[in-house]
């Protein structure tokens, strides 16, 4: 059974709902006019994605998809406020790109330990009746329900963080090279597509010089469009600072292979073709490779590409190749992800007051503010219902419904609530 590298996942996150406010009055023997003392509800917990440097795949999300933060506690009498819901932190590996599942909008790019992004905000707690007391209404029998927490589907995409990415045709010797220069032990065999997943290895030249190298599954013509295996992993090269373009010395036409792979990189992402490259002709232990080296070296020089040769099997030229890589890396800046960490989710209707449409034999009202007001209205309390009527009038909702053509007896849906127009 082949090993699957989990570098994509879709998860659902739900922040905690706010706690409900309380209707309560102070009742003590010697305090005849105690007044309202209902406490506010607590705020719901937020949902964060946080980097765990010990993770390297998204496999944990294969078995668990739904993540919900704790709701806020309800308010109580004697002015007691409900407890705040605990935040939920969902751990992801470094290199995780977070997008909205429906729009693919970039939300966060998490690359370093300690980074975290707020992806769903907890609902605010509802106010208790103590908060509604006024000189003209000293005994309000009204309280709010807690606001619902934000919820959404997220698309997670993992891009391995490595300094150097090794690319080339199948069987060029990428896995062999990684196993020789690092402690990584990728599967190696003499048939195409041995590598079914990217492999990472740390290369240490001395006590002060080290870098991370990634072996990317072999690429073939049409990889950018889905041919072969490499198209699934081309995204991992985007994180690298440079590329080792490994040529197969046993190939009849290594220069043709070079042009083909370079074209695939450019078609997948034009910026990949512009990354610094070290072209390496492998398998110099073979007479065929030794005969090809002069022409390869000349062709790369004509294209302005730095080139070297080696044999991953015998170790010939490997040290020199690594020295060239270290020298190139020293002059290259580290990649910086877009500064989008912590981008807060905003519903699509946030910027609009509300919209009214006719759907399924009822009027549907959509709008972040009006839906929040409806969700926080306690429909069991007459004063709360009257308050909503006043707010709907002030927001222009009633006038808009009349203009749309609402008739007595029509159903009006706002959020999860159905109302009958009278």
Q: Judge whether 143 lies within some domain.
A: yes
pLDDT single digits (tens) 380-410? 999 999 999 999 999 899 999 998 898 999 9
Same domain, 319 and 188: yes
The residue among 341 and 402 whose pLDDT is bigger is 402
pLDDT score recorded for residue 87: 96
281, 247 Cβ separation under 8 angstroms:
yes
Cα 157 to Cα 389: distance, rounded to the nearest angstrom: 46
Cα 246 to Cα 164: distance, rounded to the nearest angstrom: 12
pLDDT score recorded for residue 226: 42
Same domain, 122 and 192: no
Same domain, 241 and 359: no
Cα 342 to Cα 331: distance, rounded to the nearest angstrom: 31
Indicate which CATH number applies to the domain containing 202.
3.40.50.300
Q: Judge whether 345 lies within some domain.
A: no
Q: Judge whether 93 lies within some domain.
A: yes
φ/ψ of 179, rounded to 5, equals -70, -25
Same domain, 92 and 213: no
- Name 203's bridge partners: 211
Count CA atoms closer than 13 A to 314's CA, side-chain side. Answer: 10
Number of structural domains (the chain) is 3
Asked if the model's pLDDT at residue 163 lies above 60, the reply is yes
Same domain, 148 and 221: no
Q: Domain containing 381: what range?
A: 355-420
Same domain, 394 and 366: yes
Same domain, 30 and 146: yes
From 102, 129, 158, give the residue that closes a domain.
158
- Percentage of the residues of the chain whose pLDDT score is greater than 90: 40
Q: Mean of the pLDDT values across residues 43-71?
A: 90
**Token pair 């990634």: residue:** 214
Same domain, 132 and 175: no
Over the chain, what is the mean pLDDT? 83
Q: Judge whether 339 lies within some domain.
A: no
Q: Judge whether 335 lies within some domain.
A: no
141, 120 Cβ separation under 8 angstroms:
no
Indicate which CATH number applies to the domain containing 28.
2.70.210.12
Same domain, 180 and 137: no
Sequence-distant (6+) residues with CB within 8 A of 385 are 377, 379
Same domain, 69 and 187: no
């Amino acid at each position: 059974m082949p090993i699957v590298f989990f570098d994509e996942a879709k998860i659902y996150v739900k922040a905690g709902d706010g706690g409900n406010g309380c209707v309560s009055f102070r009742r003590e023997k010697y305090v005849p006019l105690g007044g309202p003392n209902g406490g506010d509800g607590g705020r719901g917990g937020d949902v964060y994605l946080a980097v765990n440097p010990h993770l390297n795949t998204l496999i944990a999300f294969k078995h668990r998809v739904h993540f919900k933060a704790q709701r806020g506690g309800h308010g109580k009498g004697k002015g007691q406020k409900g407890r705040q819901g605990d935040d939920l932190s969902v751990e992801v590996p470094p290199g995780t790109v977070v997008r909205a599942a429906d729009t693919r909008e970039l939300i966060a790019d998490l690359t370093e330990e300690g980074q975290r992004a707020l992806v769903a905000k907890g609902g605010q707690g509802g106010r208790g009746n103590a908060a509604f007391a006024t000189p003209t209404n000293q005994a309000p029998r009204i309280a709010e329900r807690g606001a619902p927490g934000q919820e959404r589907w997220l698309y997670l995409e993992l891009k391995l963080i490595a300094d150097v990415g090794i690319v080339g045709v199948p069987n060029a010797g990428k896995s062999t090279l990684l196993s020789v220069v690092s402690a990584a032990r990728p599967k190696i065999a003499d048939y195409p597509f041995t590598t079914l997943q990217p492999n990472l290895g740390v290369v240490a030249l001395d006590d002060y010089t080290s870098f991370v190298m990634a072996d990317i599954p072999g690429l073939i013509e049409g990889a950018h469009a889905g041919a072969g295996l490499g198209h699934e992993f081309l995204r991992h090269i985007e994180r690298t600072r440079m590329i080792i373009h490994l040529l197969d010395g046993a190939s009849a036409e290594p220069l043709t292979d070079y042009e083909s792979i370079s074209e695939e990189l450019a078609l997948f992402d034009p910026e990949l073709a512009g990354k610094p490259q070290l072209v390496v002709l492998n398998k110099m232990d073979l007479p065929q490779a030794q005969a090809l080296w002069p022409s390869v070296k000349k062709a790369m020089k004509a294209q302005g590409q730095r080139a070297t040769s080696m044999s991953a099997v015998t170790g010939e030229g490997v040290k020199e190749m690594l020295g060239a890589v270290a020298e190139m890396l020293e002059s290259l800046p580290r990649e910086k992800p877009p500064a989008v960490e912590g981008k807060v989710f905003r519903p699509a209707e946030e910027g609009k007051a509300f919209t009214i449409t006719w759907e399924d034999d009822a009027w549907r009202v959509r709008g972040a503010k009006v839906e929040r007001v409806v969700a926080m209205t306690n429909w069991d309390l007459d004063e709360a219902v009257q308050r909503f009527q006043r707010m709907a009038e002030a927001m222009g909702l009633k006038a808009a419904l009349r203009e749309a053509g609402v008739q007595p007896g029509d159903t009006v849906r706002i959020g999860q609530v159905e109302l009958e127009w009278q």
